[in-house]
A and B are shown apart, each in its own frame.
With several copies, the nearest count.
Chain A
Amino acid sequence: MDPSELDQINAFLEGDSELREKIKDQVNEFDKKARKMVGLLNRIHFTPTDALPALLESVKPILNDCQAVIKALADSVPPNQFWRWKDMWSNSLRTAVFAAVLVEYLSSGQLASLQQVSEQLGMKEEWKDRVTLTVEDYLQGVISVVNELSRLAVNSVTLGNFDQPIKISAFVKDLFVGFSMLNLKNDTLRRRFDSLKYDMKKIEEVVYDVSLRKLTSVPTLTST
């Protein structure tokens, strides 16, 4: 190879690896915040219903803090290279989506839309070739919420809240129908969707236990 070409390629590769280091540092920051939210949200399993709102409030400021980290990421990534680097932060991002969607569901009983989550995380339209919330990352986060809700169905019964599993069941059923509309290839998303069946089954068994014993006043949902 021509020596000047050798040097040029080398310089290019070194620049690239510095960029990687820089992004990695920012992702570490992001990850710390994501972990912190997971740590707090883990408490839903033993927090009585009336103390839940306070717990959820404590998570929101951290969600807001994520905006700054995400902006820093967007500033680092070169134009059009979103797809090149996204794997580095998608874990943290999915965790943030998980937190946002779970907090919203436990607050309002509603599913936060991709748009809503995207805004809550401070994503800007003009960055979309550098940092954006993809459908896949959003769906991955939502599936993690379902995993958590199946555990919550069990633990809320222990806490004496017999209506929670019924509500969760209705919410998850809706989501499940939504997911079954997607044509998923044999990839991670497909595998995770398959795992939803176990969550559904578990939740259904809790609803079964509760309704068999007539422990709840809420009527169990049927299809419309």
Chain B
Amino acid sequence: MASSDIRTTFQSFRDDIDAYNDRRERLIKASRDITNLSKKTIFLLHRLVLENAESLDDREVYLAAAKKGYEKLREVQNAYAGLRAELEADMFWRYERQVSPGLQEYIEALSFAWYLEHGSLIPFSEVQKSISDSDGKAYFPLTVADYLLGLSDLTGELMRFAISGLSRKGGRKKAMEVCAFVRTCKADFDRFTPFIYELRKKQSVTTQSLEKIEDTVYAICVRSSEYDLPPEMLDDIVGSISQSSRSKRGDEDEE
């Protein structure tokens, strides 16, 4: 190639590299937005559960929260619909590193809402369906790794959910349920750690979360054993005393 040919060739390389960088930049931004939306959804779910702490029925509160969560996540799903063209054919794999973080955060949020609704782990097919069009055609292929890594993050949120929910009515019972659930998750995921390197690191976070929940459940058991009263009655007693103190403080506020 002569001098001038080199210049022409490098011009075409420049176009190629610029196109790559531009698309990458777009995907990073979109992914960052998706991460933020998903994080906000998770915050929202925690908030909705917490705010309605005095409500009568757990199921209802959780269902309502999940519903609002799904609504908010529709924004994410629309964003993915919009990215469809960017991720066609082998493009998904090319930009996987840019897409994965947001996608995993989305799966974390979606699985949290699903857990509130069903009390179980969202299946792979449901996640793939949520990022497919109405004909069931996927916007891009969901990888097993992203699916598992997203779910693995869920256990941390469930730990927060269990511990901050302790003072809710029925929070103690709920904490025990979550404990059993996270235990199963950990055992299930263990099987996949030889295949997915990042899962190994996340499993140790899951183990920590699990031990935090176990410690919480332990503290509940120790105390209920000491007083030897059924948990519901304990809840009622504590609730009524906190309540009376709270309304008293409320009075003071009005002064």
Contact = CB atoms under 8 A, between A and B. Distances in A.
Contacts of A46: 180, 183
Contact of A170 (B11, B93, B249): B249
A178 interface: yes
Contact of B211 (A16, A151, A177): A151
B242 A183 contact: no
Nearest to A138: B13
Interface string A1-18: 110011011101110110
A178 B226 CA distance: 34
Interface in B1-41: 1-3, 5-7, 9-11, 13-14, 16-18, 21, 36, 39-40
Chain B interface helix/strand/loop/mixed: helix
Interface residues of B, number: 78
Interface stretch (A49-57, A65-73, A193-201): A193-201
Given A151-B211, A170-B245, A181-B14, A205 B93 contact: no
A223 B237 CA distance: 12
Interface string A144-185: 000000010011011010110011011101111111111111
A83 B9 contact: no
B124 A177 contact: no
A64 interface: no
Chain A interface helix/strand/loop/mixed: helix
A46 B184 CA distance: 11
A173 B6 CA distance: 11
Given A45-B214, A197-B164, A224-B3, A166 B241 contact: yes
Interface string A197-224: 1101100111111111111100000011
B201 interface: no
Nearest to A216: B227
A197 B17 CA distance: 21
B71 interface: no
Given A10-B191, A46-B180, A209-B223, 8 more contacts: A13-B196, A39-B190, A110-B1, A157-B218, A182-B17, A183-B17, A183-B39, A183-B43
**8 nearest A-B pairs in the assembled complex, by CB-CB distance:** A178-B10, A83-B93, A83-B94, A166-B245, A13-B195, A80-B90, A84-B93, A211-B241
